[in-house]
Amino acid sequence: MALGALVVDGALQSAEARLTRKGDRGIIRIRKDLDPPGRRRFAIGHELGHWQLHRNISQIFVCTEADMIANYRRSRIEAEANSFASALLMPERMFVSTMHDSRPTFAGLYSLEDHFDTSLTATAIRWVDLARDYCAVVVSIAGKIKWWRGSEDFEDAFWISAGDAVSRYAGAYEVGALNREAGPKRVTVDTWAEKQHPLYIDEFIEASTYFPRYKFVMSLLSLP
């Protein structure tokens, strides 16, 4: 409201959030059944990003679940809105000082998600974005890799193909059907990724968990 945008919760079809602007006034509509509350907060932050940054691009933004995880490869505008929301809700200095381990763990993620009151996904992406080591988060649904994000080092070194089937040697393969956690365990690099150039790295540590609420498996990859 201080910025001129009012947040309302209501019905939205096939989108998580929508921003409509008329001059200096705007309405941010958030899908009313967004759960848990951290997802709602992230969606508001995302629309505030459009509000502050994209006045000259469009007067209306309709943003989907995919937009909330978009990176620069997919959409510069959506990635900017996500960067804005991440920085607003999880300021870098506070976040980094709370990341106790350099490698992402589920215990660490739950604690940060709780502390900053954001979504699990946004917290995981923020972690790998700020990590100074090789690590990645991969989300798979029904045995297929849906999307992934790596730290800068990781993305320079490895490539994971979204759309591919999850390898049967991956921990994510075990948990997909059985609704539980796997790992951390060592897996060979080619279980998940292709090397972009020759590297003396042959294994990842993988921890995977199935989240019934989201119907996805999240895998955290790091180096042994």
| 30 contributes a contact to Zn ion by CB under 5 A | no
| 19 contributes a contact to Zn ion by CB under 5 A | no
Part of the chain binding Zn ion (CB under 5 A), chosen from 58-66, 97-105, 130-138, 145-153 = 58-66
| 122 contributes a contact to Zn ion by CB under 5 A | no
How many Cα atoms within 13 Å fall on the side-chain side of residue 121?
28
Task: Indicate which single residue of 30, 34, 44, 63 sits in contact with Zn ion (rule: CB under 5 A).
Answer: 63
Task: Indicate which single residue of 34, 43, 81, 135 sits in contact with Zn ion (rule: CB under 5 A).
Answer: 81
- The bridge status of strand 25-31 relative to strand 17-22 is antiparallel
- Nearest distance in Å: CB 46, Zn ion: 5
Beta-strand (E) ranges in the chain? 5-10, 17-22, 25-31, 60-63, 135-141, 144-150, 158-159, 181-188, 194-195, 203-211, 216-222
Residue where the block lists tokens 């699990």 = 120
Part of the chain binding Zn ion (CB under 5 A), chosen from 78-86, 113-121, 141-149, 176-184 = 78-86
| 67 contributes a contact to Zn ion by CB under 5 A | yes
Residue where the block lists tokens 């994209």 = 54
Q: Please tell me the distance from the alpha carbon of residue 95 to that of residue 12, in angstroms, as a whole number.
A: 32
Which residues would be at the binding site for Zn ion (CB under 5 A)? 61, 63, 67, 78, 81
